[in-house]
A and B are shown apart, each in its own frame.
Chain A
Amino acid sequence: MFRCQMVNFLFSIFPFKIWQDFLLQKHIQNCPACKENLASLEETKSLLIQEGEVGGLEGLWPKVKLQLTKEKRKERLFRLPRWGWAVGAACLLIVIILGIWFYQLSPPGKTPEEDITSPFQIKYIRIYDKPARTYFFQPQDSNMIIIWAEKNI
């Protein structure tokens, strides 16, 4: 009796299936005292609804049939024929080829770098219609350029 209580205690404190099954096979299944705490097959059967008590099920098959017919109809609506995939793939290929062709026909646009207005260039500086004396300064470690122009006397 003490052993049974011990096993039941061990069964309840470690809820691991492997452990519980080990206890079941080692002790509970072979112990008459422990078996008494389990509902027998007859007792369980008496609680359950048996096949004979189910009653009329004439309405089941028509319902199943109706549902199956509906599903088949739906399937037929959405199912592509076997060659449907081939037609779809061919159409896609044609669209891709046409796209490439049109792209090649259109005049090449300027690249973003080309599109920028041409950089500012100084060929020479003139003051009062005469070339000026020009100095360029670029501070160390800087991209800034200072242009100093003087009237050429």
Chain B
Amino acid sequence: MVDTYKTKAMALALNMLGNREDAEDACQETFIRVYSNLDKFDLQSSFRNWFYTILSNRCLDLLRKRRRFFSFFKKMKEEHTDNTSTQPHSSSRSQPLAPKILEDLSPKERVTLCLWASEGYSSTEIGQVMKCSPSTARVLLYKARKKIKSKMEKENVSLSNG
């Protein structure tokens, strides 16, 4: 199972989280959860979808935690403007790998986009993975694609002007 899914899981986690350490943590925990909950898996459903559900939930949790941490850190930084040299402990962990364009997307939009682009999932399959309706998945995907396109166009304009 690890051999079959490790590269796919890692690519998805990297695209969602943007840094290798967090992605490795997410993958590791996903494999452990999958292994310990194998008895709960419904044999009639797709194992790949179930696996990606666990992985995307883990990534979403990590993204939420990271957001909370950075908003807390930002608040702290604003309160203690004197200590500008201090950095959050996890800053060394957050070396962005995914392009900055993806940063504008919400966590759910990122999951949708990654599943669509990397795995070739349809909106129905994305809905199954994310436990939402296909229409919600379609809307999320549309928003993500639109945001990316506008960002790409902006970058192209700034590059051609610069």
Chain A residues with a Cβ under 8 A of chain B: 17-18, 20-21, 24-25, 28, 37-39, 41, 43-45, 47-51, 53-54, 57, 59-61, 63-64, 67-68, 71
Q: Say whether B118 faces chain A, with CB atoms less than 8 Å apart.
A: yes
Interface size class of B (residues with CB under 8 A): 35 or more
CB pairs A–B below 8 angstroms (16 shown): A21-B136, A24-B139, A37-B150, A38-B145, A38-B146, A39-B146, A39-B149, A44-B116, A48-B118, A49-B14, A53-B11, A54-B7, A63-B28, A64-B28, A68-B32, A71-B36
Are B98's CB and A64's CB within 8 A? no
Q: Say whether B162 faces chain A, with CB atoms less than 8 Å apart.
A: no
Are B149's CB and A43's CB within 8 A? yes
How many angstroms between the C-alpha atoms of A68 and B97 in the bound complex? 29
Are B2's CB and A61's CB within 8 A? yes
How many angstroms between the C-alpha atoms of A24 and B139 in the bound complex? 8
Are A17's CB and B136's CB within 8 A? yes
B contact face: mostly helix, strand, loop, or mixed: helix
**CB of B29, distance to nearest CB on chain A (Å):** 8
Are A45's CB and B117's CB within 8 A? yes
Smallest CB gap from A63: residue in B? B28
How many angstroms between the C-alpha atoms of A38 and B116 in the bound complex? 13
Q: Say whether B101 faces chain A, with CB atoms less than 8 Å apart.
A: yes
**CB of A70, distance to nearest CB on chain B (Å):** 10
CB-CB contacts below 8 Å: B139-160 with A: 139, 142, 145-146, 148-150, 152
Q: Say whether B113 faces chain A, with CB atoms less than 8 Å apart.
A: yes
Q: Mark B9-22, 1 if CB is under 8 A from A, else 0.
A: 01100110000000
How many angstroms between the C-alpha atoms of A153 and B98 in the bound complex? 118
B2, B11, B142, B150: the one within 8 Å of A51 (CB): B11
Please name all residues of chain B whose beta carbon is closer than 8 Å to the beta carbon of A44 when the two chains form the complex: 113, 116-117, 145, 148
Are B148's CB and A39's CB within 8 A? yes
B32, B98, B101, B152: the one within 8 Å of A49 (CB): B98
Please name all residues of chain A whose beta carbon is closer than 8 Å to the beta carbon of B11 when the two chains form the complex: 48-51, 53-54
**CB of A11, distance to nearest CB on chain B (Å):** 9
